[in-house]
Amino acid sequence: MNSEDISTSDDKKNNPARFIAREILNGLETLIQEAQANTRPLEVDPYRSRMFEFFVTADGAGLIKDDRDVAAFEDLDEDSNEMDLSADSLCRLLARRWGLDMAAREAQALQTRLPADQLERMRLLWSVMRMWIEWSYAWRRWNEFHSPPSETSV
C-alpha cells in the first residue's frame, strides 16, 4: 500500500467530506479529459448528465457553499479539512491541479497567450463553472417555486 492509498483510507475514515470531495474532483477531471479527448462539449450528454450526478453528490454531502458566501480570492487546498465545491472553488481546484493558475499568471506577466492546450482546458473549466453555477442557483431556489400554495392565495 503506497502513501496515497493510506492517505485516502485515512480520509475515508477520519474526514469523509474531504474523501468525497476528492472523489468528485477526480471524477470530474476524468470526465473533462474524456470530453476533451473526444472533442465533445461538456454541455451535451453523456457528459452533462454525468457532471450533474457529481453536482448532486456534492450537494448531498454538503460540499457546495452558497456562491454568494464564498470569498472571491479564498485560498483553496485539496488537503484542507473544510472542502468547498462551489463553482468558483471547484474550478480553482481543478485549475491548480492542471497548472492553469500558474500558466495564466505567467502569460499575463510575459504578455503572451496561453498555449492552445491550456486555453482549451480553460474553456472547459468555464463550461463547468457556468453549468455548476446554474445548477446551484436552481437548487437554491427550488423550494421557492415548488412549495404548496398557501391557503390565503386560494
User: Nearest CA to 66 among 14, 139, 7?
Assistant: 139
Task: State pLDDT tens for residues 21-67.
Answer: 999 999 999 999 999 999 999 999 999 999 999 999 999 999 988 76
Angle in degrees, 0-180, between the axes of helices 116-146 and 16-37, rounded to the nearest 10 = 120
Confidence of residue 130 (pLDDT cuts 50, 70, 90): very high
Of 10-14, 70-74, 81-85, 93-97, give the range with the top mean pLDDT: 93-97
CA atoms lying within 13 Å on the CB side of residue 123 = 14
Percent of the chain with pLDDT over 90: 40
pTM as predicted: 0.76
Give residue 85's identity as a one-letter amino acid code.
L
Q: How confident is the model at residue 3 (pLDDT cuts 50, 70, 90)?
A: very low
Determine the pLDDT at residue 77.
55
Reference 65, options 19, 4, 21; nearest CA is 21
Are the CB atoms for 49 and 70 separated by under 8 Å? no
Lowest mean pLDDT among 36-50, 71-85, 118-132: 71-85
pLDDT attached to residue 40: 92
Sequence-distant (6+) residues with CB within 8 A of 28 are: 51, 54, 90, 94, 128
